Amino acid sequence: MPDSYAPVLSVDLGAMLANYNLLCRRALPAICGAVVKADAYGLGAAMIAPHLKRAGCAHFFVATVDEGLALRRVLLPGVKIYLLDGLPPGAENDIAAAELIPILNTLAEIERWRSFQRGPGAKAAALRQAGLHFDTGLNRLGLDRRATLDLIGDPHLLDGCNIGLVMSHLACADDPEHPMNRTQLQAFREIAANLRLPPRLDGGGRPLLSLAASSGIFLPSDYHFDLARPGVALYGVSPVLGAENPLAPVLRLQAKILQLRDVDLDMTVGYGASHQVRGPTCLATIGVGYADGIFRSLGNRGAVFVAGQRAPIVGRISMDLMTIDVGHMPRQAVQPGTLVDLIGPAAPRGQSIDDLATASGTIGYEILTNLGPRFQRRYSGG
């Protein structure tokens, strides 16, 4: 029996595919992969990835080996699954057996992959692909400047490796005017021009070059190279700071009114008594809280929408509950059991994920990846 008090997360797979198609058009002549790490940013990779595959997506990115193994169980071999976090020691056999593609981030990982390739089953090893990640300024993951120069200076360091992807990642792509974009583009071009790779033993041609994630797709086409790696834009989050969002909203987030109460002057609301009631009004208590990924920073700041009308959040957010002021609404619009909107529908009758993120003091990525297991997940439009 589904818990009818549970909050609801509705995912519109049709809108997600429309976003994928829009990203594919924007990325041309590059092809478009999909980043489905962190369980497709919390929306459910097992539901999302097969739809993308049917739409023609053949390159999927996850962060960890476990994510890759789980994704391989729902996607047949032939579809490429890349591991952004690299090659953990001891994972080589699992990675090879599931035909995952580790993206090598250090010389030590390259050396470890090479010695695995020389081990038992070396013939089949020729077919195992790996990727290379060059850091061009994010200073996070990937071969640093010194390792990059070492690799360019001694191509034999890659002997026996079948490199199918060469990538880097932009630090400031959501700001098209940022000078870092050009600097990183130039660095990536130089690497691509100077890197000498061993011949592909699987008959593949030169490796795919990849620089752009969601925001990079909205930079000029010289940032697109061969393969784009959008994640968050698939799920409708705005890719460019301060610009109109061209993507379709993919999710709607709702929770139920569990209880209504009339309150009067002299009363306070919630833990810490942080909200002072200013006159007779009506409060609704909703069954969703910070354990579900509704940020505590929204207390006394954000709002939800009830039947298309804004209702301010009053008092602190608690673990499983939050309170809103509905004194300005007709009573028949607010009843126990009424679903209120935290994300969606479109303004002015609702707010976007970016609106909720801004009110929470964070970004859409963090909202998505914090949505907890108590949401009933409903998929439509598939």
Residues of this chain that interact with ligand PLP (CB under 6 A) are 35, 37, 84, 169, 213-214, 229-233
> What phi, psi does 86 have (nearest 5°)?
100, -155
Examine the residue annotation and report whether 37 is marked as an active-site residue of this protein.
yes
- How near is the Cβ of 209 to ligand PLP at its closest, in Å? 13
Report how far residue 108's alpha carbon sits from residue 55's, in angstroms, rounded to the nearest whole number. 37
- How near is the Cβ of 255 to ligand PLP at its closest, in Å? 26
Asked if 327 and 314 touch (Cβ cutoff 8 Å), the reply is no
Nearer to ligand PLP, 214 or 323 (CB): 214
Report how far residue 292's alpha carbon sits from residue 285's, in angstroms, rounded to the nearest whole number. 15
- How near is the Cβ of 108 to ligand PLP at its closest, in Å? 19
Q: What is the DSSP-derived secondary structure letter of residue 117?
A: H
Nearer to ligand PLP, 213 or 288 (CB): 213
> What phi, psi does 27 have (nearest 5°)?
-85, -15
- How near is the Cβ of 282 to ligand PLP at its closest, in Å? 40
Q: Is 74 helix (H, G, I), strand (E, B) or coil?
A: helix
Q: Which of 355, 308, 356, 299 is nearest to 334 (CA)?
A: 308
C-alpha torsion sign, points 12, 70, 4, 359: negative
Helix locations, the chain, DSSP H: 13-27, 37-41, 45-54, 65-74, 92-97, 107-118, 122-125, 145-153, 179-194, 353-360, 364-370
Nearer to ligand PLP, 37 or 256 (CB): 37
Burial code (b: 16+ CB inside 10 Å, e: under 16) for 339-377 equals ebbbbbeeeeebbbbbebbebbeebbbebbbbbeebbee
Give the residue nearest to ligand PLP (CB).
Answer: 231
> What phi, psi does 229 have (nearest 5°)?
-125, 65
Q: Of residues 5, 20, 37, 290, which has the active-site annotation? A: 37
Q: Of residues 5, 123, 271, 290, which has the active-site annotation? A: 271
Q: What is the DSSP-derived secondary structure letter of residue 276?
A: E
- Is the link from the previous residue into 176 a cis peptide, with omega within 30 of 0? no
Nearer to ligand PLP, 91 or 233 (CB): 233
- How near is the Cβ of 231 to ligand PLP at its closest, in Å? 3
Q: What is the DSSP-derived secondary structure letter of residue 292?
A: G
Nearer to ligand PLP, 35 or 125 (CB): 35
In the chain, count of helices (H) and strands (E)?
Answer: 11, 19
Examine the residue annotation and report whether 379 is marked as an active-site residue of this protein.
no
- How near is the Cβ of 251 to ligand PLP at its closest, in Å? 15
Nearer to ligand PLP, 84 or 250 (CB): 84
Nearer to ligand PLP, 101 or 326 (CB): 101
- How near is the Cβ of 66 to ligand PLP at its closest, in Å? 16
Enzyme catalytic residues: 37, 271
